[in-house]
Structures are given as structure tokens and as C-alpha cells.
Amino acid sequence: MQRNQIIAIVVIVAIVASVGAYVYIGSMPRTTTLVWETIGNPDYMDPHNNYESYGSWIHYNVYETLYTYEWDSLDTDPTVPLLAKSLEISSDGLNYTFTLRQGIKFHDGTPFNASAVQYNFERMLGTFDPSGPVWMVAEPILGGQAIEDAVYSEDTALHKQLWEQWVADNRAGKGAVIVLDDYTVRIRLAYPYSPFLAAITYEVAAMISPTFVENNGGITVGAHNEYIDKHTSGTGPYMLTEWVLDQRVVLTKNPNYWREDDAKTKFPNAGYFETIIIKTNEDANSRILNLQTGAADSVYWPTTHAFQIYNNVSPPAFASNDGTVQSLDPNIKVWAKYPSFTIASIHFTMSDTINDTLLARPIENPFRLKNVRKAFSYAFDYQTAIDNILNGFGEQGQGPVPKGMFGHNDSAFVYPYNLTKAVEYWNDAMNNDGLDDILKNASYTINLYYNSGNSARENAMLLLKDGLTAMLARDDAVKPAETLTINVQGLEWSTYIHAAIDGKVGAWMIGWAPDYADPDNYVGPYVKSTGTYAYWARLNGTEGWNATLVDGWISQAAKSQDDNERISLYGKIQDAIIDHAAYIWVWQGTTLTVSRADIFNIQYNANPMHGAYFYHMYRLVPET
């Protein structure tokens, strides 16, 4: 299992209702253009290989999946047919038969049909980036596990061989994805897996035009298509027209969007915005000023700056919040402190050596030592982080499965801020693990990384530095032979992610929001040895970690149809990874969403399973 849905940027949106009498802006400049400012960049425009939140947010507006979530609900069950018209699941849970909508075309004019669905699933398992999201399709689907195993063993020849046979079986009507007729397709699973529909509602299972792919390089097994990484052709309401790295993403409305009439029955102003401009702006104060002056319609407003706009009113009943109740500014709407499944954690790369980005050379890795990781876990001041960094927008994390989700272990151990315990583990590493020699090899330097522009993560790493400095200042702490330098370093998002993938950062911070609302979607990436974060952390092979045992628990829990068995297994999994101190479970956040007062229907993007959906938004201004 290899995954990434890296939550670099969590775009969480919430509810709005009418306020007084409004009319359309009409001829005002920019009326049908929505400007959104945030941080970072997408990784890829290919939804089958992208695995971070910014790119997935774009894909949610450009591409479509067979099913989706309620447009105006917080329900996390994928109950809404989108490209599919209906679904029949066999009594044994192994066969998913989709009846597809007719008359839909991709942006390039290619008809959408059952053959397009088959092609897309074949492409997912063909390109299969081991740092991407395809694992969630491959593992439960018939024949997919063998292909995944070949991918993670880095055996490209075997991957190609298995994939070609898998495709041949599909085309012969005896494989995993079978075309029954032009608008009926059956997907067969290797074992019953209840979150399967939710998993393929994530953007990994978005439908791309087969003609578009084939006309621009086709499928190369085990490799990205560089053209598809930067260009799009979906069925969704918007089309990508420009992407300038570190500057902007521009979307324009699909003039032939198939769902327009249906959308307007529930959202009369659907399709109002002709152009969406998403700007990269790493400076929080600049983003805030642009929102206040109307130069932007919505921005990523970090919780570090929350009280510049949030009046500290507790969240009212969600459906009744029109965005004005919690705002200090009548020109800006705010939705604050609603629950989310988003967690943030500090990660340790645990390989024997790392090619440290800042030092620009290989060094021995202090984070391979469990005692060092334990010391860091006790040296972090969790409550100060919640109070001063998040401004109360969250609570301390308790393992990989978020509180409030099925399978969360309420009794799991929580590391307190305790410098006495931190010193105890630090001294053990110095006296018994050879830590001083390791630090000497690293020029007595420890580097802590965050993605630039994310002030919350920057401040969290600074807080960790403060805790370590306080720990080392204690009289009972064993001092390194030379003064230890602790640096806090920001990296641009794409550089940051690839440094983590390549093992060039020893301690770094990131987040996770669900691809699908099930604990498998958290223990997979964080704990399973082939999971994205675990893979980046080089968890498998670290001293004291039994990957065979824990991976077995994860697989068993995913396949089980017994809730009690699943809960018991997830409890064991969470206890194991918390004790291993592979991560510092920093916080589980709550929402903070802001927009200009004349932007409506942002609330319909409140569902924690997806980002902002532009097609239902519109702009109104008060009557004069």
C-alpha cells in the first residue's frame, strides 16, 4: 500500500445562507471570475498519479468519478451517482456493476462509456507511481495485489508482464474490469472490501479521456506521462487553461458541461463563474490584505491569524451559519471550529543515513534511534501548539486514526510535554546508542523542515526547537561534545515533498486528510510498510519494528466484515506505531474558512471529503 494524499494545503469550506436582498453584480469587472489565493503548487495534473491536496482540489473541479458525495451535506458516504447512473453490489461483496450515464463527453469530445472506464482502471495500474494513490484501487481489485507487489519491489519487467496479462484478461471478459455493454461495466474484487466505493470516489479513479492520453504519449508501464502530468481532459465543469508554477492555476468553465441542467434544479446559479484563478501567495499578511480589499474572493487564512477575523463565537448549528455570526468584518464571512478528520504530524526519516538537504551531504541519521524519537516526542509542547499556533483550532493528536472516526483508539497513549522524560531518553541515546558520534558526523547539526508559506508548521517546528533547547539546557542532560545547532528550514512545497520522498529530510511536518472515511485510509499510509508516509520514513527495517506482524493486522482489518474485530485490530496497530515514536502526533484540526461576503454557496464544499467546488458558487452584492 503506497499512498500520499499529502495534505499540504487543506482547503476546508463551510456553510452560507442568504443575507438580506441581493442582486447580481452584472457589469462590474471580474464579476464572473473567482480569485482564490493559497500556498504551494499542485504536484501533477494527472489524478492517477498526483497525491497531494492542491492537485486533488483542481482535479475535483476538472475530472469526475463514478460516484461522489452529497453536494450540500457533511455526509461522508459516497451515495451520489455522478458519471455512473446506478450501482449493484453482489451479495458476496465481490462484484460492483455500474450502469453509466449516456451522452457525456470528455473535454476533447471523446464519448464517455464503459470502455473509457475500463481504460482508466487499466491506466491506473499501468502507470502506478509507488508514491501515488493507486494502491487504494490495486489492493482490493482482482489481480491488483500482484501488480502492486511488483511495483514496490521495483521490478518493472514483472510489473509490465503482470499488467499486460491483467489487461488481456479484462478485454477477454474474465478479468477485474469487464465491459458488459456500452454503458455497463463490472469491477471485480479479490475480497469483500466495504470502503471500495469510497476509495474510487477519491480522484485516483477520475476518468481521463482515453483519446487524449493516446494522442499524447499513451501508457508507459511504470512511468508518468509528462504531458498528462501538466495537461487535462476530463468530463468536469472546468478545464485547465493555464498553470504557471509558483504563480497561478487558471480554470475556465466547460461550455458543454453535461450536468448543467440537473445542477440548476438544486443550485439555480450553477455555472456562474466563467473563470477561476488560483494564485500562489506564500505571505499570509498579503493574502489577508487581498481578501480585505476585495482583490481576492477567498484565501487560505491560517489559524495563526485567526483572531484578526474570528470573533471567538462558538460554531452554531452548521446549517444555520450564514458566515456572518463568527466574523469581525461585515465584508467577510467566517466558518470556524467545525470538526474535521485532518491530522498533522512531525515525521522522522529512520534510515541509517540521510542525504540532508541543508547540509548537502550524506550524514548518519540520529532519528534511526528510538530513544531520540522518544526524546523529541516528549520535548514538544502540545498545548502551547494548540493554544498559540492553532489559536485553539484543534486538539492534541492521538495516533494516526482521528478522533471521531470509526476505529479510533480512545485509550491510546498520548505523549505529554515532559522535559524530564525527554532528558531520560536523550541521555539513554547519548550513553548507550552512540548518539554523540552520530551528531559529530552531522557536524553537530539537526535540521527541522517545513513547507514554506505554512506558518502553522513553521511555528510548530520552532516550538520543537524551543523544547529541544530547553531539554539540552537542563543540568541533568548529557551534552554533546560540541554545541548542537538546531535549524528550522522552509522548503517550497514541491521541493519539500520530493526531499521527503528521497530521504533528504530527517524531521519534517505534514498533514493528512482522508481520501475515504475509514481507518484503513490512515493506518495504510502511516503504518503499513508500503504506505506512503511509512515508505518515506523507511519504517520497515527499523530496529524494534515487526512489519510482518503489523502489516498483517492492517490487511486483516481491511478485509474483515466484523466491526468488533476491526476495532480490536486498529487498536493494536495504533498502539504499535505510537510506541515506536515514528511520528509526533501534533494536532487534529478544526476548520477555518473565510471568503468575501458576496460569494455564495461556499458552504456546499464543507464536506470533509473534498475541497472547494466552484461550479455551485456565485457572486451577489447587496441591493443599493
**What pLDDT was estimated at residue 148?**
95
> Burial of 26 by CB count in 10 Å (0-12 exposed, 13-18 middle, 19+ buried)?
exposed
Which whole number is the average pLDDT over 569-578?
A: 98
Q: pLDDT of 309-355, one tens digit each?
A: 999 999 988 777 889 999 999 999 999 998 888 999 999 999 999 99
Using the predicted structure, report yes or no on whether residue 14 has a pLDDT greater than 50: no
Please state which architecture CATH assigns to domain 46-236. Alpha-Beta Complex (3.90)
Residues 191-202, mean pLDDT to the nearest whole number: 92
Compute the average pLDDT of residues 455-459. 94
> How much is the pLDDT for 604?
59
Name residue, grid cell 480554470. 251
Q: How far is CA 349 from the centre of its chain?
A: 19
Q: Provide the percentage of residues in the chain whose pLDDT is more than 70.
A: 94
User: Nine-digit cell at 401?
Assistant: 486514526
Query: CA 479, 482, 483, 489 torsion: positive or negative?
Result: negative
Residue 150 has pLDDT above 80, yes or no: yes
Handedness of CA 473, 476, 480, 482 (dihedral sign): positive
The pLDDT of 500-518, averaged and rounded, is: 92
Helix, coil or strand: residue 344: strand
Task: Assign 9 a pLDDT band (cuts: 50, 70, 90).
Answer: very low
DSSP assignment string, 69-94: --TTS---S--EESSEEEEEE-TTS-
- Over 423-444, what HEC string results? HHHHHHHHHHCCHHHHHHHCCC
Helix axes 455-473, 370-379, angle to 10 degrees: 110
- pLDDT > 80? residue 47: yes
**Stronger pLDDT, 607 or 414, i.e. the higher one:** 414
pLDDT of 26 above 90: no
What are the Cα distances from residue 433, in Å, to 353, 370, 373, 478? 15, 10, 13, 13
Inform me whether the pLDDT recorded for 516 exceeds 70.
yes
Residue 46's pLDDT band (cuts 50, 70, 90): very high
Q: How confident is the model at residue 12 (pLDDT cuts 50, 70, 90)?
A: very low
| Structure confidence at residue 603 (pLDDT) | 63
The pLDDT of 452-464, averaged and rounded, is 95
Q: What is the pLDDT of residue 493?
A: 84
pLDDT recorded at residue 339: 82
Q: What is the mean pLDDT of the chain?
A: 92
> Quick one: pLDDT band at residue 63, thresholds 50, 70, 90?
very high
pTM: 0.81
Name the band, by pLDDT with cuts 50, 70 and 90, for residue 401: very high
Instruction: Give the model confidence (pLDDT) of 433-446 as tens digits.
Output: 999 999 999 999 99
**Given this model, what pLDDT does residue 340 score?**
87
Separation CA 341–CA 403 (nearest Å): 8
Encode pLDDT of 204-262 as tens digits: 999 999 999 999 999 999 999 999 999 999 999 999 999 999 999 999 999 999 999 99
3-state secondary structure of 566: helix
Q: Average pLDDT of 413-436? A: 98
CA pair distance 309, 326, nearest whole angstrom: 8
pLDDT at residue 557 greater than cutoff 80: yes
Instruction: Say yes or no to pLDDT of 526 above 90.
Output: yes
Mean pLDDT, residues 562-581: 96
Give pLDDT tens digits for 346-358: 999 999 999 998 9
- For β-strands 67-68 and 583-596, DSSP reports them as unpaired
Residue 13 pLDDT > 70: no
Burial (CB count <10 Å: 0-12, 13-18, 19+), residue 160: middle
Q: Break the chain into its structural domains and give their ranges.
A: 46-236
Structure confidence at residue 622 (pLDDT): 59
Confidence of residue 70 (pLDDT cuts 50, 70, 90): confident
With cut-offs at 50, 70 and 90, classify the pLDDT of residue 605. Answer: low
Residue 22 clears pLDDT 80, i.e. is over it: no
Predicted local confidence at residue 601, as pLDDT: 84
Q: Using an 8 Å Cβ cutoff, are 73 and 94 in contact?
A: no
